[in-house]
Amino acid sequence: MLVHVPGPWSPLFGRLTLDSIPYSNPIIIFAFAFSVIAGLLVLVPVVYYRKIGYLFREWLTTVDHKKIGIIYILLGLVMMFRGFVDGMMIRTQQVMADGPHSGGVLGAAHGYLPPEHFDQIYSSHGTLMIIFAVTPILTGLGNIIVPLQIGARDMAFPMMNAISLWLTTVGAMLVMASLFIGDFSTAGWVGLAPLTEVSYSPSVGVDYWLWAIQISSIGTTLNSINMIATIVGMRAPGMRWDRLPIFTWTTLSTNIIGLTSFPILGVALALLGADRYLGTHFFTAGLGGDLMLYTNLFWIWGHPEVYFLVLPAFGIISEVIPTFAEKPLFGYITMVAATFAIAGISWLVWLHHFFTMGAGPYVNTFFSVATMLVGIPTGVKVFNWVFTLYRGRLTFTAPMLWAVGALFLLLIGGVTGMMLAIPAVNYTVHNSVFVIAHFHCMVLLIAYSIFAATGYWFPKVFGFRLDERSGKAFFYTFSLGTAVLFIAMFALGFMGETRRLDYLYNTQWMPALVVEEIGIGFYTLSCYYFAKMLYVSIRDRVKNRVGADAWGTSRTLEWLTHSPVPFYNFAVTPQVNTRDELSWRYANKVADVQPDHFEAFHMPNNTVVPLLIGILGFGFGFGMVWRIWWMAGFSLLAIIAVVIYRSFARDKGYILTAEALAKLESANKPLGVVAETQYLSESNTSHMAEAEAH
Amino acid sequence: MQMNIVKDGKIPPLWHYGHEEHDVIGAKTFGFWLYMLSDALLFAGLFAAYGVLDHTMNAAGGPTESQVVHPIAATWQTFAVLSSVFAYSLATVALKRGNRAGVVLGMLAAIGLGVVFLGLELADFASLFHAGATPFTSGFLSAFFVLIASHGLHMVFGLLWMLVMLVQVLRFGFSTAVVAQLLNLRLFWQFQASVWVCVYVFVYLKGTI
């Protein structure tokens, strides 16, 4: 039954031995020291200022969609930094290992990374950036903004929201653990079959990759259910479908994609897991396995996943541009139609990731045409944004710069994508770094939108604006890095460099490789400006404080409530009268009209259950990776027990009374996501009655 | 901007006062339908994998589809799972009348028939293992066993859920939370039966041809 893996195994520790810890590798020692210092920098102040209780009560056990969103985004940003360091290491290795005369250090024949280590780094770069950086950040943004944009108090299922968060965190923690205990997959972020099979990858690397993605994708699926239920069922009165802000529309479409595509990834990984753990033959080379079955299943998820990421990015651009052009979005209905057209076509194009499979001209033609069709709705979107900009009153704040920058990347990425959609071209440049440069343009467009969104909505969440000066320096250095690195990479693709090379044989590539490394230098500089932006903004937070509408020209509902948003979002649910409600209220000079009285409403209690499920989920994942059966089994049973126990608990939440609300609203304190129960207790707990049983 | 201004100067209401009664059962049912959509896609992936691997080439010289399917036994399984759904439906009818004993009896019958279904499945698996047809023999048999076992695992979770609901009905009666779960469980159970019908048709009946 169970697959025999080489190496020692004990019932207590599974495959885990002291030798599993790569303490002799200086790079990993450095990474470990860096992580420990960064961790201590967070932990020591928390302990010193006795904030552990606060952290536990207000953040780790929270069910508030805004706090959950913030944790998502923080997790994503940390993982993005790690992914960036991986990228930097890949580029540095390639520039050091070009040509037979290139020397080697740290035990490598060329460059400084032996092939085994280099392969792990590009695998973790892709996995981290796509699954654990961009996905959590966009999920977090949706979490924070969508309920505010539709005038809801929370998500449809607040506790499930927290469970999604902690399952995603478990995945990220497993990838982090792989850095210091054992190794990571060497089979790329896509998991090239049959290289991922036990006979070719006997170490725990593939298992880490497999369980990290599997567990976090359960979280993503649950979040998709939650988001769709929220948008469909929790809209404020008057928020008709034709008034829904575009970011909410794109979040809806993206989560429909997520809900329908992540199960396919789950199947692909489960079947691979069955091969690795039980000894079945789904994707093995021989005994009736079919490795292209894996590739197909993976990309049936993988391509919709790309649009899962890019659609919210389009939504962000559609929010930022009208605000800073002081015009309503051009072509609202076509924008919604284009969004759903892209979402629909996303299901029909997966095979363009492997035209060279040899499926024949008819199949390739179908997928080629389907891929080109994507260009039509995307073109509609670009023209809509351009027409919104046209004769607008433009203000080039940092978020606006990111949004406009994203348009250029979309253009380059989109046009090269059209080239790759032609099978004849694809056969030539397949697996070259031309493809890498193309999809980095697309993913960077998402990153640009993320930075636009961060700057745009930061004041909504924290009550003060980010520093413009360092924010713009961040944009310009980052954009220089993008231009310098990826133009050189496009050229290298045409010159014949294939992807995933730890050693390059052609010395003529050297100049372009050096240019790429210069690009990395600009990126590194941009990290400095990002940190400076955060530091300066927090230092000058009093100076940069904003009112409800941080930009003065915002259009949608989230800018109607206080900044930072109080934990109950809206004291009284707004009645929506039109699309772009806030600009309508401005036009009619009623934007400042406050509700004349308050009414009590129901709020959910914080709970430790999601965190507990997360911790047990990590136990399950870690136990499975190292084949510590008792640990995995116990964790799984404990999760089931916790869920059953919770279904018996009668947690009714609490009622926030009208008096408490009046007090909170008139206090004029920096109410917000930062402190919830503190203000509640100040506002006299006697106002809080136990909620009635249903 | 111009077109935004209210013509007669009469501003419509800006705030929605009044307590909104939240439709807990409606929200939970909708959420559960969405979950079922993802579950449907999960089975779609498994069926696709089975469709690809159901080929002589993938049997790798081992037994092929017609040699491993037992359509008569599967017919009995089909009867068991459909009667289990019928028993649960009777429980739902009793729920409508607020008849606690009826709900408990219906669910007990559903659990019993579900156990019969799983027992038949395990017996079928045992006979195949005995004959040397295991999931480790070939890619085709891997797909065959994993597809059916995935459905079986869903059935096990359904039975566990029913046991939990049995205790909750006896303990809490028909509270909102319990009723919401009973309705979702009905969806789940009926869906698993539908998946079994697909398995029966695409694996067992197709295999006999």
Annotate A470-505 with b (16+ C-beta within 10 A) or e (fewer): bbbbbbebbbbbbebbbbbbbbbbeeebbeebbbbe
A648: nearest CB among B22, B160, B168: B168
pLDDT band at residue A682, thresholds of 50, 70 and 90? Answer: very low
Average pLDDT over residues B20-45: 91
Q: What average pLDDT does the structure give for chain B?
A: 93
> Are the CB atoms for A399 and A449 separated by under 8 Å?
no
Burial level of A417, CB count in 10 A (0-12/13-18/19+)? buried
Quick check: helix, strand or coil at residue A14?
Answer: strand
Extract the tokens encoding A75: 């997790």
In tens, the pLDDT along A364-405 reads 999 999 999 999 999 999 999 999 999 999 999 999 999 999
Q: For chain A, give every domain's residue range.
A: 547-607+650-694
B15: nearest CB among A233, A286, A572: A572
Quick check: helix, strand or coil at residue A111?
Answer: strand
Residue A518 and residue A524: Cα distance in Å, rounded? Answer: 10
C-alpha pair distances (Å), A210 with each of A8, A265, B194, B202 = 22, 10, 30, 30
In tens, the pLDDT along B119-150 reads 999 999 999 999 999 999 999 999 999 999 99
Mutate to test the interface with A, among B2, B6, B14, B39 (most CBs of A within 10 A): B14
Q: For chain B, give every domain's residue range.
A: 24-208
What's the pLDDT score for residue B24?
83
What's the pLDDT score for residue B20?
63
pLDDT band at residue A675, thresholds of 50, 70 and 90? Answer: very low
Instruction: Write down the pTM of the prediction.
Output: 0.94
CA end-to-end distance (rounded Å), chain A: 49
Radius of gyration, CA atoms only, chain A? 25
Residue A691: pLDDT over 70: no
pLDDT band at residue B21, thresholds of 50, 70 and 90? Answer: low
What's the pLDDT score for residue B19?
64
Residue A311 and residue A135: Cα distance in Å, rounded? Answer: 12
What's the pLDDT score for residue A674?
47
Q: Which residues contact A45 (CB under 8 A, 6 or more apart)?
A: A51
Question: Does the domain formed by B24-208 have CATH 1.10.260.30?
Answer: no
What's the pLDDT score for residue A530?
96
In tens, the pLDDT along A99-148 reads 898 888 888 899 999 999 999 999 999 999 999 999 999 999 999 999 99
Chain B residues whose beta carbon lies within 8 Å of the beta carbon of residue A693: 175
A228: nearest CB among B19, B34, B164: B34
User: Is A680 or A629 the better-scoring residue by pLDDT?
Assistant: A629
Whether A282 has its CB under 8 Å from any CB of chain B: the answer is yes
Asked if residue A22 has a cis previous peptide bond (ω within 30° of 0), the answer is no
In tens, the pLDDT along A475-532 reads 999 999 999 999 999 999 999 999 999 999 999 999 999 999 999 999 999 999 999 9
Q: Helix A375-389 to helix A291-325 angle, to the nearest 10 degrees?
A: 10
C-alpha pair distances (Å), A613 with each of A69, A170, A620 = 18, 10, 10
List all residues of chain A from 283 to 302 with a beta carbon under 8 Å from chain B.
284, 286-290, 293, 297, 300
Residue A240: pLDDT over 80: yes
HEC states along chain B?
CHHHCCCCCCCCCCEECCCCCCCHHHHHHHHHHHHHHHHHHHHHHHHHHHHHHCCHHHHCCCCCHHHHCCHHHHHHHHHHHHHHHHHHHHHHHHHHHCCHHHHHHHHHHHHHHHHHHHHHHHHHHHHHHHCCCCCCCCHHHHHHHHHHHHHHHHHHHHHHHHHHHHHHHHHHCCCHHHHHHHHHHHHHHHHHHHHHHHHHHHHHHHHHC
Residue A54: pLDDT over 70: yes
Whether B29 has its CB under 8 Å from any CB of chain A: the answer is no
What value of ipTM does the predicted structure carry? 0.95
Half-sphere exposure of residue A269, counting CA atoms within 13 Å on the CB side?
24
